[in-house]
Chain A
Amino acid sequence: MLNRPQRDLTMANTARAPGAARVDHLVVAEMVAPGSRVLDVGCGDGELLRLLELRGVDGRGIELSREGVNDSVAKGLAVIQGDADTDLADYPDDAFDYVILSQTLQATRKPREVVEHMLRIGRHAVVSFPNFGHWKIRLKLLFGGQMPRTNNLPETWYATPNIHFCTIKDFRQLCGTVGAKMEKAVALNAWGKPLRLPAPWWFWNLIGEQAVFLLSRRK
């Protein structure tokens, strides 16, 4: 479930020079203070963790897929095999400064509980997800009459591991429900580049292909 199906975003991969970090990873990394302790939930092959460690972060990862874990461990990263839906409960309160969930939220069975655990384990949570409210997706459902598929989300409805898609508006609502404070939010275009223009939420929800939120516990 956490093998991060969108990790190999075809277009996101084109948004960088070979060997360079993915742009959406850079956006996440910018939200993390250097020298802090980070847990990356659903860390895939460990690319984001490696980027964070280069920036002096003490990083740990959980990943569901064995290949992802073994690749990461062989890279020297502190990654364990585990499932966000079941294993976050085992972590003590305040164990980390940041808990990151990058492109994984929509693949969890219980997104609300996962976000709640993230805010319990870490002082901050960073969540990135594909925005199902993007205008292309809306048009596909409206005119095609089928579950939308895009370059970034190419699987059919019956094969996709993404069982809990949401929009930026939906996620903002969830933040309110779980009592999370939104410290920062960035919408990204199809290439993972941040949309830097000032705009109201409804506009971001229409043109952002992905979103990255920095949350903290409401006191």
Chain B
Amino acid sequence: MAEARLKTDLRDRVGEAETPHSHVVSFGPDKPLKLDAGVELSPLQIAYQTYGTLNAARSNAVLICHALTGDQHVANLHPVTGKPGWWETMVGPGKPIDTDRYFAICPNVVGACMGTTGPASINVRTGRPYGLEFPVVTIRDIVRAQAMLLDHLEIDSLFAVAGGSMGGMQVLQWAASYPDRVFAALPIACATRHSAQNIAFHEVGRQAVMADPDWRDGRYLAEGTNPRRGLAVARMAAHITYLSDAALHRKFGRRFQDRANPTFSFDADFEVESYLRHQGSSFVERFDANSYLYLTRAMDYFDLAADYGGILAEAFRGTKTRFCVISFTSDWLFPTVESRAIVHALNASSARVSFAEIVTDKGHDAFLLDEPELFAIVRGFLGSAGAARGLPG
């Protein structure tokens, strides 16, 4: 029974990686994706969702960049989990990223597992899923692939690029790599480089995956296993970093789960344990373990200043893009000081920049949650940028 379910999971996930419930564009051998690793990725498939309508001037497109474990299903029911999209509070008709005004596009990133080419995709040269034969990709590669998608959609200039966490890194990379294609940039809860602490947390997650015997050196899809436990542990550890001490205490305290007393065992006695186990086990239903390795690596390698001689301001020199940088007080994964460094560099480049720190105890995940102040700021920023862009009000 468990075996049968496992096989179904795998088929579902490989299925979503190959034939997703999304728009798909494929780039053949004539249009390879040139990777920072020095190799080319081809063929390349990009899966993406869109919301709203592209105007006649093609000037109202908003690119939404998803985070590490997110995907392109921003504002629709998720085809695997059946749950609402991850940013339904932010994106939709009348929402801050108002799809009555803007045309929102969210592609699945390269290396992920929801339809854009990644380690769970079939390698046409072997007929098997890539696994570890997939080349290591960077945030810059991810953004380069997104630019190929926009070229295909004939969108020369984006009205805005928005995203949180790894999505925010993509926003910054977009502003640096394609300044003339980005009118407004909204990097939220992110940084221009991954800190040693963040790399360390990612390494814990990767080691958990690779320590699972079912990982099979990355060949689990071909061998019919699934490193569920390893990936679940990775997710549990990471999930703690997305919250805050105060939020965990507020939500769970030391309360017991469905029991009045401790069981003197290693059951999930505490509510917080039960919650984390649930987070871990539901995550493995929708995410590919190798994708987790590749995308955490992409974040680790991100260091925008390093690409510009160590001077961050050079990344934004002469930029015409308007920026709105947002951080959260209780985010210790991407603390406010990281956002200040972005603002400092933008000021030194004389960029038009707004910066707001929002008071919340919800930690890093606050960018995904119901934060009225966040919504008001995004709405106001896009509204005024829209007026400057000549979009109808």
List chain A positions with a Cβ less than 8 A from chain B: 58, 60, 66, 69-70, 72-82, 90-92, 95
- Report chain A residues within 8 Å CB of B352: 58, 60, 78
Among the listed A74, A81, A95, which residue makes an inter-chain contact with B355, where contact means beta carbons less than 8 Å apart?
Answer: A81
Among the listed B344, B373, B383, which residue makes an inter-chain contact with A70, where contact means beta carbons less than 8 Å apart?
Answer: B373
- Report chain A residues within 8 Å CB of B380: 73-76
Q: A90-B348, A91-B347, A95-B350 are in contact. Are A73 and B356 (CB under 8 A)?
A: yes
- Report chain B residues within 8 Å CB of A72: 354
Q: Is the CB of A73 within 8 A of B347?
A: no
Q: Is the CB of A66 within 8 A of B359?
A: yes
A and B contact pairs by CB, cutoff 8 A, 25 listed: A58-B352, A60-B352, A60-B353, A66-B359, A69-B355, A69-B356, A70-B377, A73-B324, A73-B356, A73-B380, A74-B377, A74-B379, A74-B380, A75-B380, A75-B384, A76-B380, A76-B383, A76-B384, A76-B387, A78-B353, A79-B354, A81-B356, A81-B357, A82-B355, A92-B348
Nearest CB of B to A203, in Å: 41
Question: CB of B322 within 8 A of chain A?
Answer: yes
Q: A75-B384, A76-B381, A76-B383 are in contact. Are A70 and B356 (CB under 8 A)?
A: yes
A90 to B373 CA separation, bound complex (whole angstroms):
27
- Report chain B residues within 8 Å CB of A77: 354, 384
Nearest CB of A to B312, in Å: 12
Q: Give residues of chain B (51-71) contacting chain A, Cβ–Cβ below 8 Å.
A: none
- Report chain B residues within 8 Å CB of A66: 356-357, 359
A145 to B134 CA separation, bound complex (whole angstroms):
80
A60 to B376 CA separation, bound complex (whole angstroms):
19
A70 to B377 CA separation, bound complex (whole angstroms):
7
Sorted nearest first, the 7 A-B pairs with minimum C-beta distance are: A76-B384, A74-B380, A80-B355, A73-B354, A74-B376, A78-B352, A73-B356
Q: Give residues of chain B (352-393) contacting chain A, Cβ–Cβ below 8 Å.
A: 352-359, 373, 376-377, 379-381, 383-385, 387
A66 to B55 CA separation, bound complex (whole angstroms):
36
Q: Is the CB of B354 within 8 A of A78?
A: yes
Interface contacts (Cβ under 8 Å), in number, total 62
A58 to B352 CA separation, bound complex (whole angstroms):
9
Given contacts A74-B379, A80-B354, A92-B350, 19 further A-B contacts (CB under 8 A): A58-B352, A60-B352, A66-B356, A66-B357, A70-B358, A70-B373, A73-B354, A73-B355, A73-B356, A73-B381, A76-B380, A76-B387, A78-B352, A79-B354, A80-B347, A80-B355, A81-B356, A90-B347, A92-B348
- Report chain B residues within 8 Å CB of A90: 344, 347-348
Q: Which of A69, A81, A92 has the most CB of B within 10 A?
A: A81
Question: CB of B190 within 8 A of chain A?
Answer: no
Nearest CB of B to A132, in Å: 33
Q: Which of B357, B380, B383 has the most CB of A within 10 A?
A: B380
A80 to B351 CA separation, bound complex (whole angstroms):
12
Nearest CB of A to B226, in Å: 45
A58 to B357 CA separation, bound complex (whole angstroms):
23
- Report chain A residues within 8 Å CB of B353: 60, 78, 80
- Which residue of the partner chain B has the closest CB to A79? B354
- Report chain B residues within 8 Å CB of A81: 355-357
- Which residue of the partner chain A has the closest CB to B375? A74
- Report chain A residues within 8 Å CB of B383: 76
- Report chain A residues within 8 Å CB of B356: 66, 69-70, 73, 81
- Report chain A residues within 8 Å CB of B347: 80, 90-91, 95
Nearest CB of B to A99, in Å: 13
Question: CB of B41 within 8 A of chain A?
Answer: no
Q: Is the CB of A76 within 8 A of B355?
A: no
- Report chain A residues within 8 Å CB of B379: 74
A66 to B327 CA separation, bound complex (whole angstroms):
12
Question: CB of B176 within 8 A of chain A?
Answer: no
